[in-house]
Chain A
């Protein structure tokens, strides 16, 4: 037994510093953000440039917009980068957030099976498409996770005058309660329609039978905002370093970095600090 203890002790001594030295790095901020800006690879692409210029490193929590704002409300993050105008307005109205600035936009799309059971492919009208999906009871995957994408999806159903849970909950309307990638994996496997942000869609690698069905509806615009935290409620967070990152995102250098990020030759995010959409 003694030899096991010795082996364990050696392992602990050897490995523990790796874990604990990292606990308190200098000038590190926690950014609560959405899966779409992280899983698409955008933050990974632009953060090294920022860290190099300022010596501030950014730890990214990739959550849905609702969860990201809650994390900041609970005082567990230094800055938020999210995409749900209504939830953001509420966050600011409650006195948690200040200085909301748009950094970039892209768009949402409705993706669905190549076979197109609802006969919507090639359209540019999201509301008509949802009505057709409901009318034909074609399978539709909902995120159901209070993310920005989920919030927009629910607003679209409302605008189309359909209550999808009442009409097809448990049958064709499938609330999976997961992230964008999980929803796309589920939609590809069923197959089903779903609403996706374009960034995640372009960088997603398990598309299976899914293709873009609907795009180009003005309802489907997707705006990303950075919001700083109100020092009156979150004074103990690293707000100065967080502000430096927010400022950098909207600066010419940050905007250029966002615009330069491409997947398969396509620009995923359109920088829009100068001219917010």
Chain B
């Protein structure tokens, strides 16, 4: 985007749409993975009593503030050709970015799902068991009962992934047309002194994530109990 002065000109380029598509596919994939693992995990932590449970809960909560650059660096070392997983050839690919962001979002989804499920379990747990539900059957029921809170947990995870730049810059490399996302493009255009375009990209990014949150809440608001 060297000679593109403003966001309005950028809209005419295929590059911007490709960047938006990549941002969404990476961040939604990462949030979906975090949701698929984190929701059942968070609810399970509320339902089952087992040794180490407190430790797991404290760990999930303390990892809410996982620094993206550190995750990026650790993954970089693991995925580098000199690292243990170098043979996978994943460094500087979108897949590496999905992994990094899923790791960042997982504790958020887990901790928030746990908090929501704990209240529900305290209130309805006995009733569920009386009506013959097993604990493993109770997990999806609790996710469904607390669906607005669960959605908030997933959207909080998505908010982390779509806005994140530190980790994907390291493991993705910000390669034009391949691993360049909205956030890394904003960082790049800022470094080129192209502040109007950087700001424009930022506004588009905020608009897209707002749209996704609004759509998700609209969908869940209408879904039957």
Contact = CB atoms under 8 A, between A and B. Distances in A.
A8 B35 contact: yes
Nearest to A62: B174
Interface string B187-220: 0101111110000000000000000000010011
B22 interface: yes
Interface in B132-146: 143-144
Interface in A1-60: 1-4, 7-8, 11-12, 15-16, 18-20, 22-23, 30, 35, 39-41, 44-45, 59-60
A60 B172 CA distance: 11
A275 interface: no
B80 A205 contact: no
A15 B24 contact: yes
B223 A4 contact: yes
B26 interface: yes
A13 to B, nearest CB: 11
Interface in B62-110: 80-82, 86, 91-95, 98
B165 interface: no
Contact of A184 (B80, B147, B193): B193
Given A15-B21, A19-B22, A76-B81, A207 B92 contact: no
Nearest to B93: A23
A203 interface: yes
A12 B178 contact: no
B143 to A, nearest CB: 6
Contact of A16 (B29, B192, B216): B29
Nearest to A181: B191
A179 interface: yes
B5 to A, nearest CB: 8
A206 B143 contact: no
A30 B178 CA distance: 11
B175 A4 contact: no
Given A8-B32, A181-B190, A19 B81 contact: no
Please report whether the interface of chain B is mostly helix, strand, loop or mixed according to DSSP.
helix
A15 B223 contact: no
Please report whether the interface of chain A is mostly helix, strand, loop or mixed according to DSSP.
helix
B220 to A, nearest CB: 6
Given A30-B92, A44-B176, A19 B29 contact: yes
A100 interface: no
B77 to A, nearest CB: 9
A16 B95 contact: no
Contacts of A181: 190-193
Contacts of A23: 93-95
Contacts of B194: 205-206
A3 B147 CA distance: 11
B176 A19 contact: no
Contact of A205 (B175, B188, B192): B192
B186 interface: no
A267 interface: no
Given A4-B147, A60-B176, A75-B80, 20 more contacts: A4-B219, A11-B32, A15-B21, A15-B25, A18-B25, A19-B22, A19-B26, A39-B188, A40-B2, A59-B92, A59-B173, A74-B81, A75-B82, A76-B92, A180-B191, A181-B191, A181-B192, A205-B192, A205-B195, A207-B193
Interface of B: 2-3, 5, 21-22, 24-26, 28-29, 32, 35, 80-82, 86, 91-95, 98, 143-144, 147, 150-151, 154, 173-176, 178, 188, 190-195, 216, 219-220, 223
29 contacts: A1-B223, A3-B219, A3-B220, A4-B219, A7-B216, A8-B28, A11-B32, A12-B28, A15-B24, A15-B25, A15-B28, A18-B22, A19-B26, A19-B29, A19-B98, A22-B93, A39-B188, A41-B2, A44-B2, A59-B175, A61-B175, A178-B191, A179-B191, A184-B193, A185-B190, A203-B192, A205-B193, A205-B195, A206-B194
